[in-house]
Amino acid sequence: MLVDTHCHLHFDAFDPDREAVIQRALDFGVKSLVNVGTDPKTNRQALELSRTYPFMAATAGLHPHHAHEISEEGFKDFETFVTQNPPVAIGEIGLDYVKSQSPPETQKTTFARMLDLAARRNLPVIVHSREAFEDTLAILRSEARGKLRGVMHCFSYDRDALKKVLDLGFLVSFTCNVTFKNASALLEVARTAPLDRIMLETDSPYLAPQIYRGKRNEPCCLTHLADFLSEERGIERTVLEETTTRTAAEFFGLSLPS
Ligand SMILES: [Zn+2]
Ligand SMILES: [Zn+2]
């Protein structure tokens, strides 16, 4: 049994055939899914999916690309939403310096506020960080150290960065981008990261594996990532599966189907 620890099945990309996508995930052994919110609208959509499908969980977050869209009132509404509908994590939140409409200073302020909220509500965090490692680390060190459990999702930095993230007590999750042809450095990180500190995700609809590159990704492709990584690491697929599934269940507090 696999858990897709980060996907966006509530996104419009799945409107035409969501039922079929969900059925394929189940058929391929992906028995639990975490739908990750990125702004007030998608937070609500993720919550609604988790109400319809008991094997799905929802998070509530504010993606760095949306950091500049939220007003003071919006922060209050966010906290009210989280209080009334407790998510399994706060996220995705973080910093993304690749072609973002949100200025870095705005992203940093929003990120810090979200970490503070997660700490007060005793919720783990899902951190998104792209080409912003030093700033992400600095904020996590001052705002999260010792106070928060977290995962840096779609981990795409080097081995030195991995060590710094693990030293914070955080987990990392790997996406199908480790299967890309040009990802040898990242693959080396994914191959050597401690097995009990990693989780698997698809980030669907993004980042389809190499064999489907450029197409829409979907949770059933997690099985491809699990096959690929267990082979690369030279371990039994069942060992990878059981370990990462246990980690995910503990991290998000999921009750998994037996
Ligand atoms: Zn992300
Ligand atoms: Zn995502």
Beta-bridge mates of residue 198: 172
| Ligand 2 center–CA 66 separation, angstroms | 13
Which among 244, 233, 224, 235 is positioned nearest to 180, based on CA atoms? 224
Ligand having the closest approach to the CA of 6: 2
Report whether 192 contacts 219 (CB < 8 A). no
What is the reported pLDDT for 201?
Answer: 98
Determine the pLDDT at residue 211: 87
| Ligand 1 centroid distance, CA of 92 (Å) | 6
Amino acid 5: pLDDT: 98
Closest of 258, 257, 250 to residue 5, by C-alpha: 250
92 Cα–ligand 2 center, Å: 7
Question: In the CATH hierarchy, which fold is given to the domain comprising 2-252?
Answer: TIM Barrel (3.20.20)
Sign of the dihedral through C-alpha 8, 9, 15, 17: positive
Q: How far is the CA of 136 from the centre of ligand 1 (A)?
A: 13
Which residues fall within 8 angstroms of residue 69, CB to CB, at 6 or more apart? 39
| Separation of CA 128 and ligand 1 centre (Å) | 5
* Residues in the chain with pLDDT values less than 70: none
Cα 6 to middle of ligand 1, angstroms = 9
Can you give the pLDDT at residue 139?
97
Domain boundaries, the chain: 2-252
Q: List, in order, residues 6 or more apart from 167 with CB less than 8 Å away.
A: none
Whether residue 219 is preceded by a cis peptide bond, meaning omega within 30 degrees of 0, is: no
pLDDT score at 146: 80
